[in-house]
Amino acid sequence: MRNNLRLGLIGSWVPKKCGIATFGRDLIQGMQENDPSIEVFVAAAEEPNDVYQYDDTVVAKLKTDDRHQYTEAAKLFNNLAPDVVFLQHEFGLYGGHWADFTYAGVKHHDPTGDYIFDTIDYLKVPVITTFHTVLPYPDPARKEVTRRISEHSVIVVTMTQDSKRILCADYQIPENKIVVIPHGVPKQPQKNRSEVLKKLGLSEDKYYLVVTGLLSPNKGVDIIINALPGILKNHPEVQLMVVGQTHPQVMAHNDETYRKSLVALAKELQVENSVTFVNRYLETEELMEYLSASDIYLTVHRDPEQSASGTLAYAVGTDLVTISTPYRYAQEILANGRGFLVPFEDPGSIAIAVNRLIEDRDLAKRTKDKLQTYGREMQWTAVGQAYLKIIKDYVKADYEHLVP
């Protein structure tokens, strides 16, 4: 009799430069840290023109425009017979129809990703779904997709209590079907900051603000640059680091237009010498080094409904004091004195918050102390154990010998 756990995963997979791809890999590794015997089979979601060299865990591909691949993936998973399949869900990740609707007076044309049902409708094994986006007040088309996915899932996972509340209130998903598990973060390496600064070629006499992640207008880096004159007037030692390449979808439609506009804005405001662009996609280890070298993390997303942010989770996991706009994920993860919220589209408030933290080191230290306790619960080993507990409690109750 087999005595190891076999897992399927549907979602993006590394080396795709995508937050969900990194999440899926890190989640599996977090579970394997608790149980090295776990086997994994991945169906990797791809755009039509994507060409990636995957590791041996990838057994199928899901091109957004090829429905045949979705049905073939279901057949393959049924033959491999994993104990459970983890579905990573994000609108736009999978192919399908698009929805036209008006929200808050604005017309939208967005993907529904309903081709995923060509896979999960035919799976003969339990499905656990992690919702990376939970939309409040959803349009009818995407509400129906979310409800159908939930009906096909033995458990759905959200990353915040707020997202759980929305699924209950706006989608009528039973509360006992939803489990809240935080976004995981790597274990923070114990490195000397001076050594990290030297390795990255950074000066020790600067005070570093950092923005990370795939660059797009939604990141609001232009708002931060507009805040710099008000910061540098009092603290000329401040340096803003914008770490990460332009989002592939932004590149496909607008090339480097947004990044070039940021460079032009910095020159216009005469702060170009205080802004550094690291125009590369960083692997996790190097990204964590930039975070550990920084003094303040900035996340000023323009979307108030954003329900998850891997980059913010990483900042919290490295005890990095954060200033954020009040989007949904930030409101919850930075509550109780774990960070600082500023209004949307408000460079002046950012400048005030940064200056206050530079000048009140005790405030920064108290915030760091609160982050340290909170961040331990977000490390991938703990998150992996929480997902394994789901399998034991809700999926494999009759086969507890498979789960540590």
Q: Which two tokens stand for residue 236?
A: 């000329």
Position 147 scores a pLDDT of: 97
Position 281 scores a pLDDT of: 84
Position 398 scores a pLDDT of: 52
- Summarised one tens digit per residue, pLDDT across range 317-368 is 889 999 999 999 999 999 999 999 999 999 999 999 999 999 999 999 999 9
Amino acid at 363: L
Position 397 scores a pLDDT of: 56
Q: Which residue stretches of the chain have pLDDT < 50?
A: 1, 399, 401
Map out the domains of the chain with their CATH numbers.
Answer: 6-184+379-402 (3.40.50.2000), 193-376 (3.40.50.2000)
Q: Which two tokens stand for residue 97?
A: 């129809």
